[in-house]
Amino acid sequence: MGFMDKLKNKFKQNDEEEISTKYKEGMTKTRNSFSGKINDLIAKYRKVDEDFFEELEEVLITADVGVMTVMDLIDELKMEVKRRNIKDTKDVKDVISEKLVEIYYGDDDESIEELNFQQNELTVMLVVGVNGVGKTTSIGKLAHQLKSDGKKVVLAAGDTFRAGAIEQLEVWGERAGVDIIKQGAGSDPAAVIFDGIKAAKTRNADVLICDTAGRLQNKVNLMNELSKVKRVIEREVPNAPHEVLLVLDATTGQNAMSQAKTFLEATNVSGIVLTKLDGTAKGGIVLAIRNELHIPVKYVGLGEEITDLQKFNAQAFVFGLFADMLEDDNEY
């Protein structure tokens, strides 16, 4: 059984079908671009040769998979094609899908996609990212999801500088049905988060999600601010924050990568929330982030609804990329 057959069978299971539908619908733009180009390539070249690999390299780079990742992937593909003695380009689709998943995980497994929750004590999550990437929206959606899972959630409105940020978080707090701790605009973010920790402990909350300012204009200030917030959290909750989630906008492509590098200098990012994946044809950025920054993607935004923030699943992602091809083969 080929790898794509395995994916197809996996996502036919009842509990997996909803996940695959979300990814399939949310990745339409990337898939239309990516699958279409790969199908054209397979129609153009009947046999697997150097020219075929060169054009495949271009297709992957235009999908924003990232040059370093593409080079690794092409090398792996060439070795595998040789090992399996594959001559027909049609048979390469299966190897591409398999290698994309392998390259994503590397030496790790699906556990890297899970959030790090503490048992029987407060879990503190710090959410960072520049203004405009969908940070506050992602916090609201995540709060809604965690509450639906039976967790008691408190939000701390630590983005005290952007006009309207506190009010926006309040709206999301109401929608998700969770408490929000805030101070006035312009107040010290570390003080807000200190209050948030105290309130979360008093209310026996399971999770505290802290919003932070996202001004990149002055990198030194941003770093100092995040360091201060982190010191307050560490002092009040040993070994916290348990997650530092960096929110990136998928539609900004390689610009998201440079933002990520800046935040990595400022704080220990443990996972990525990639928003607006449904709005880009360059969804390959997921693989570039993981392979070049060595940080797992933990959530992806696949639509506007409150339920459209999905736990990331590399197999569902690759399924979303290749879903049309599976249908073309009349196998799905």
Task: Give the pLDDT confidence score for residue 20 in this predicted structure.
Answer: 83
pLDDT at residue 290 tops 80 = yes
- Is the pLDDT at 274 greater than 70? The verdict is yes
Q: Annotated binding site: which residue ranges?
A: 129-136, 211-215, 275-278
Mean pLDDT on 238-256? 93
pLDDT at 12 over 80: no
Tokens, residue 207: 């999770």
Domain ranges within the chain, ordered by starting residue:
12-110+318-328, 119-312
CA pair distance 136, 257, nearest whole angstrom: 20
Write the pLDDT tens digit of every residue in 75-89: 999 999 999 999 998
CA separation, residue 26 to residues 76, 241, 281, 310 (Å): 28, 31, 11, 10
Residue stretches of the annotated binding site for GTP: 129-136, 211-215, 275-278
Task: Calculate the average pLDDT of the chain.
Answer: 90
pLDDT in tens, 63-113: 888 898 899 999 999 999 999 999 998 889 889 999 999 989 988 988 999
pLDDT at 258: 87
What is the value of pTM for the model shown?
0.92
pLDDT value, residue 14: 63
List the one residue out of 214, 98, 216 whose CA is nearest residue 163.
214
| pLDDT reported for residue 332 | 37
**Half-sphere exposure of residue 316: CA atoms within 13 angstroms, side-chain side:** 27
**For residue 113, what is the DSSP state?**
G
First-residue to last-residue Cα distance in the chain: 14
Q: Is residue 327 very low, low, confident or very high in pLDDT (cuts 50, 70, 90)?
A: low
Q: Is the pLDDT of residue 331 over 60?
A: no
Work out the pLDDT band at 329, boundaries 50, 70, 90.
low
Helix (H, G, I), strand (E, B) or coil at 331: coil
Residue 328: pLDDT band (50, 70, 90) is low
What is the mean pLDDT of the segment spanning 295-309? 93
Q: Which residue has the higher pLDDT, 131 or 237?
A: 237
Residues in the chain: 332
Task: Tell me the mean pLDDT in the region 43-48.
Answer: 90
- Find, among 315, 280, 92, the residue nearest to 323 by Cα: 315
Q: Which two tokens stand for residue 259?
A: 């933002």
Q: Tokens at residue 114, please?
A: 């899970």
> Strand 153-156 relative to strand 297-301: parallel, antiparallel, unpaired?
unpaired
* CA-based max dimension of the chain: 67
Single-letter residue type at 183:
Q
Mention the CATH class of domain 12-110+318-328: mainly alpha
Nearest-angstrom CA–CA distance, 273 and 271: 7
Q: What is the pLDDT of residues 161-193, one digit of tens each?
A: 888 999 999 999 999 999 999 999 999 999 999
pLDDT score at 8? 80
CATH superfamily, domain 119-312, is P-loop containing nucleotide triphosphate hydrolases (3.40.50.300)
Percent of the chain with pLDDT over 90: 62
Q: Is the pLDDT assigned to residue 55 strictly greater than 50?
A: yes
Q: Which of 302, 297, 300 is nearest to 278 (CA)?
A: 302
Percent of the chain with pLDDT over 70: 96
